[in-house]
Structure 1
Amino acid sequence: MPATPAALFLPSGRERRHALLRIARDVADDLATDAIVRDQAGKPPVDETARLREAGLLAALTPPLPGGGADWRTGCAVIREVASADSSLGEMLARHYTHAWSGRFYASRLSAPVLEEEAACEQWLWAGTVRAPGSTHDTGGPDLTLTPLDTGYVLHGRRPVDTAVTVADQFLVDAVCAVTGDVLVVRIPADAEGVIAEPSSDRLGQRVAGAGAVVMDGVVVTPQQVLGHRPQDEESTAPFTALAEPALRLALCHVGLGTAEGALAEARDLGMNSRTPGPPGDDSDLLLTYGELASASQTAAAVVERATDAMTLALSAGAELDPEEPAAVDALVAMAETVTTRAALHITTRVLELTDAPGLDRFWRNARTLTAHHPAAHRLRAIGDHYLNGRRQAMAKADA
């Protein structure tokens, strides 16, 4: 197992942030060199995962620990930086980082640090899906079922996974107990007996994210692998647990924002290299277009940063989180999703019209895939409901 860079365990939080962002930029530069080739190949991210692990990003993207980990703002900055070069790996890190917080979202306050320290030490890559309480998938019956044993459970079923299905070290899933009906959040080692990874193929975008499904064929789950209960509905959800679903959606906003920023920067660089001699200022239409696109990117960034600040404060509050705060954070996340979706789709579409270059279409395909299952109308209604009525309901029921 490669050693984690010592720079990521500096005593000062500010020093760690600067070191982590420098590493993220280096990783992004490395990924950008062969991004087009890897996107066209669409292979499972085996080599890419090795790059991330060697750089120490898997160990660093854990909740803040004494002398290590990353606060929410820093973690999202890393995700956005990597996504600007490779949106697929940005999504993989976004889901990994959010799942790494699950010990705090679902487990006891005492057991969460033990799990986080082990995850950082072993450099686990997290993958999986934990459904939001009251999600539409719950009404169709459980896809994963736990059958109690004398100690622990046996897990059966199949669950779609958006990233790292063949390269993950740990899968995080929710499953229904066949006897009690309780929904439990469990972690499953990827090398456990009965775990079968089924990679998908021929995706439109996010082709290197490693999406697919994981089959649990009689997998034994020990009591130590049960993080805790996933609430059945929003009303029974503890304030801090209520942050789990919007946290993932916000991390994915940073992926979308990074995708838009990467597309705009690459189009600019390609255009500058291929443009006929003469100062760019001579082309007033081009300046107008780039001014509009840069403004759209900065507007989205401002909304996302506001939501990120709110999420950072809420996560820092821990058990002291005000019961009303998750709804306010959720509303900001929904606004960030709405603005980022529009900006990412608009920018990645327009750059194709500005620059005719091989591989530039990957940004558009990735943006479409990232935003395909997030209907804007639903989010806008939920935002309006929160603004007018202040209701403590989830802002977006679409799966992240």
Structure 2
Amino acid sequence: MTAAALGTATARAQGRDTPLRIARDVAEDLAADAIARDRAGRPPVDEVARLREAGLLAALVPPGRTHGVDWRTGCAVVHEIATADSSVGELLARHYVHAWSGRFYATAHRAAALERDTARDQLLWAGGVRTAAPDGGVPDLTLTPLHSGYLLNGRRAVDTAVTVADRFVVDALCAVTGDVLVVRVPSGRPGVSVEPARDRLGQRVAGAGRVAFDRVAVAPAQVLGPRPYDEESTAPFTALAAPALRLALCHVGLGIAEGALSEARDACPGGRLPATGPDVLLAFGELASAARTAAAVVERATAAMAGALEAGPHIDADEPADVAALVATAETVTAEAALHITTRVPELADAPGLDRFWRNARVLTADRSTAHRLRDIGEHYLNGAYRPG
């Protein structure tokens, strides 16, 4: 390798390492008062301020010439934060994937502008783009065309940052054409109002709630592009949008499992069982194996997703189905490991706050059916097909 090439490789490695070093410092800070903040359950105003001050909101955008991080680094940052505080990890995971929305749905020029603005202004993204119409077929968000732009109306449940987001990205049905369009809306726009969720079981600091749009003006430049109707009309790269979000959340689930196990290990000598007893050794061996197995499966899916995202519009038409099947496997294994580990650790250690890991795991995995994912995996294994959702 030439000196110039070595310098370039070193610079790239340092660029990846810097966000991770920052994330470790932020994670240590978050871990110090995680129990108190979970009990308070307040909107994540202070948490977002910590992320913004550390530069992580700006860092976690798609990689560009002067900003952003690659997929594997972004997921590693999410994992690091989630191990200390899974609510903040979920907030950061969704922000990162929402920042990819321009590449999934818009033109390259519009996506680049969105990412530059996000990095420059440290914008926090929230919202949600659905992969299909809700049950019953009644849209919760509609767009009414004007002579220039649209009016957006309706309400949408948001999983994170509802009161602190700078931008919302959502999909809405055009009342005239029937097209489903993905739009971005500044949170401070007239007609936008939010309502935080109260007394959540878990992920209490993530900032979940509902956002309402009452005749909110949407300019043409705020329309990223159409959301495809079905699998057949979905471009291969756009098909990565849904599994990318689910995979980012796998890193949050893995963080919950590893955080619970680590905290139980630290508390075990003063807990209910002797740290050198055969029963506790067997229990921790089982749980550590489950966590490491999940980590290996998630890493394989992360590597596959990273390769697919790097391919961009040149991605092979069959690759999204293969990646989605790996993500579904990661979801299944991670959910089972997180729920099993967080159920067992309170039996092994007597430490305050261990219950929060179980509550967080339950809420994070509540809307993802293991049976549904296993059927998807089986369909891909038998037929080579995969239905995203």
* CA shift for structure 1 position 276: 9.8
Find out whether 1:357 has 2:348 as its counterpart. no
* CA shift for structure 1 position 361: 0.4
1:208 to 197, 205, 225: 205
Match of 1:329 in 2: 323
* CA shift for structure 1 position 392: 4.0
Find out whether 1:366 has 2:363 as its counterpart. no
How many angstroms apart in 1 are the aligned matches of 2:358 and 2:281? 22
How many angstroms apart in 2 are the aligned matches of 1:17 and 1:45? 26
Match of 1:319 in 2: 313
Match of 1:21 in 2: 20
Cα-Cα RMSD = 1.5
How many angstroms apart in 2 are the aligned matches of 1:138 and 1:182? 18
Which SS does the other structure have where 1:160 is aligned?
strand
Match of 1:79 in 2: 78
1:182 to 154, 179, 191: 179
* CA shift for structure 1 position 17: 1.3
Match of 2:90 in 1: 91
Preserved CA contact (<8 Å) 1:177 1:183:
yes
What TM-score, normalized by structure 2, do the two folds share? 0.96
Which SS does the other structure have where 2:148 is aligned?
coil
Preserved CA contact (<8 Å) 1:165 1:198:
yes
Give 1:363's aligned amino acid.
Answer: F
Which SS does the other structure have where 1:235 is aligned?
coil
How many angstroms apart in 2 are the aligned matches of 1:379 and 1:194? 38
Preserved CA contact (<8 Å) 1:11 1:67:
no
Distance 1:159 1:275, change over 3 A: closer
Find out whether 1:305 has 2:299 as its counterpart. yes
Give 1:169's aligned amino acid.
Answer: D
Match of 1:388 in 2: 382
Q: After superposition, where does 1:1-400 map in structure 2 within 5 Å? A: 12-132=11-131, 134-135=132-133, 137=134, 139-272=136-269, 274=270, 280=275, 282-394=276-388, 397=389
Q: Percent identity?
A: 68
* CA shift for structure 1 position 337: 0.3
Between stretches 360-369 and 11-20, larger displacement belongs to 11-20
Per-residue deviation, residues 104-136 of structure 1 (Å, max 9, x unmatched): 00001222111100111010000001001x35x
How many angstroms apart in 1 are the aligned matches of 2:42 and 2:111? 34
What TM-score, normalized by structure 1, do the two folds share? 0.93
Give 1:41's aligned amino acid.
Answer: A
Which SS does the other structure have where 2:108 is aligned?
coil
Which SS does the other structure have where 1:234 is aligned?
coil
